[in-house]
Amino acid sequence: MRHASRSLVAVALLASLTGCPGEDVVDVPDTSPDVSDAVSDTLEPDTSGVDSVTPDTVTPDTVTPDTVEPDTVTPDTVEPDTVTPDTVTPDTVEPDTVVPPPSGETCADPLVVDALPYTLTVDTSAFADDLSTGGACGLGGDRGAGSGDVVIAFTAPTTGLYRWTKPDPGGPALITTAAACDGPALDGCDGASGDLWAGGAWTLWRTAGETMFYAIDGWFPGDHGPTTLTLEAVDATACTTYCGLVTTACTGAAAQYTSYTHCLDYCETWAALPPGDPAADPTGANTVACRAHEAALAPADPATRCPAAGPTGAGTC
């Protein structure tokens, strides 16, 4: 390739010389070698004296990644707490045993006086005819038969006088009392009010803690209907109480005073009787209380009780 290049340069130079005017063209013999048949050298790189370096064949390490087996996590088997609910046995609520109030119909179911003063409003026509005096009490026959009746129980809180009062006329007209009551008639008779058809009062002497039964009844058959009764304690040491009793219970041949005023004058002024103590000396003392005691019992036995309730006391007061 280098020889060809020089021949080409010489040809070009010659051409430029021959083309210039005014100058003689001088034939220059072609001395360039004939390159037509020339074979271009194949330049092989000189490998002499150079070691043949065979590059190392680097075989990359075959990296086998660790086979990481994931941990087999067995979750804890959490057994849920077995919650046994408390066995709540509901309280066995016994229904209230409602005890009906006493009816007062019989001796087995009497109305009860729980405080004083006590007021009873009742219509005895709504009650059966359970009780009668059976001829007792000296009332001239079997009082209470044929009339509706109500039974009341009363326990005296203190010894002294107690008074039933019937302010209005009509209706039941009799109050009787006995220490026992368990049959169609009161067991005996410890007192009776008498006929209260027109209204009135009945005073009794009672001992502390003593329970008595009272029958609100009719004097005659058919004596029943609405009425109001009150029971209260009265002062047994007052001359007014004593004189009211003695002038009511002791009349006629058994009378001890000419009037209520006569009795008051004697008790409060002439004799100036000491009041006494109903619980300590209901008898055997010259006191108002002793005389009031005798006067309260006089309706059942006027012949004996009225003189003891009078001014002299008849050896009893």
- CA dist., res. 165 & res. 147, Å (int): 20
- Give the model's confidence band at 265: pLDDT under 50 very low, under 70 low, under 90 confident, else very high: very high
Higher per-residue pLDDT: 258 or 23: 258
Mean pLDDT taken over the chain: 80
pLDDT at 37: 47
- Give the model's confidence band at 97: pLDDT under 50 very low, under 70 low, under 90 confident, else very high: low
- 156 Cβ partners below 8 Å, 6+ apart? 162, 206, 207, 208, 209, 210, 212
Mean pLDDT, residues 249-271 taken together: 97
Pairing of strands 111-112, 150-155: parallel
- CA dist., res. 310 & res. 317, Å (int): 9
pLDDT at 1: 46
Does the pLDDT at position 28 exceed 70?
A: no
- pTM of the predicted structure, to 2 decimals: 0.67
- Give the model's confidence band at 42: pLDDT under 50 very low, under 70 low, under 90 confident, else very high: very low
Higher per-residue pLDDT: 166 or 59: 166
Q: Which two tokens stand for residue 303?
A: 């012949």
Tell me if 32 sits within 8 A of 10, measured CB to CB: yes
Neighbouring-strand partners of residue 213: 153, 178
pLDDT at 189: 81
pLDDT digits (tens, 9 = 90+) for 224-241: 999 999 999 999 999 999
Element (DSSP H or E) covering residue 233: strand 226-234
For 276, counting Cβ atoms within 10 Å of its Cβ (0-12 exposed, 13-18 middle, 19+ buried), the class is buried
Backbone angles phi, psi at 14, to 5 degrees: -65, -40
Residue percentage of the chain with pLDDT more than 90: 54
Does the pLDDT at position 152 exceed 90?
A: yes
pLDDT at 215: 94
Higher per-residue pLDDT: 100 or 217: 217
Does the pLDDT at position 313 exceed 90?
A: yes
pLDDT at 107: 87
**CATH of 111-234 given 3.40.630.30, 3.30.413.10, 1.25.40.10, 2.60.120.380:** 2.60.120.380
Q: What is the DSSP letter of 258?
A: S
Does the pLDDT at position 58 exceed 80?
A: no
Does the pLDDT at position 15 exceed 50?
A: no
* Domain boundaries along the sequence of the chain: 111-234, 239-315
- CA dist., res. 279 & res. 281, Å (int): 6
Higher per-residue pLDDT: 162 or 184: 162
Q: What is the DSSP letter of 156?
A: -
Does the pLDDT at position 92 exceed 80?
A: no
Q: Which two tokens stand for residue 183?
A: 């049959």
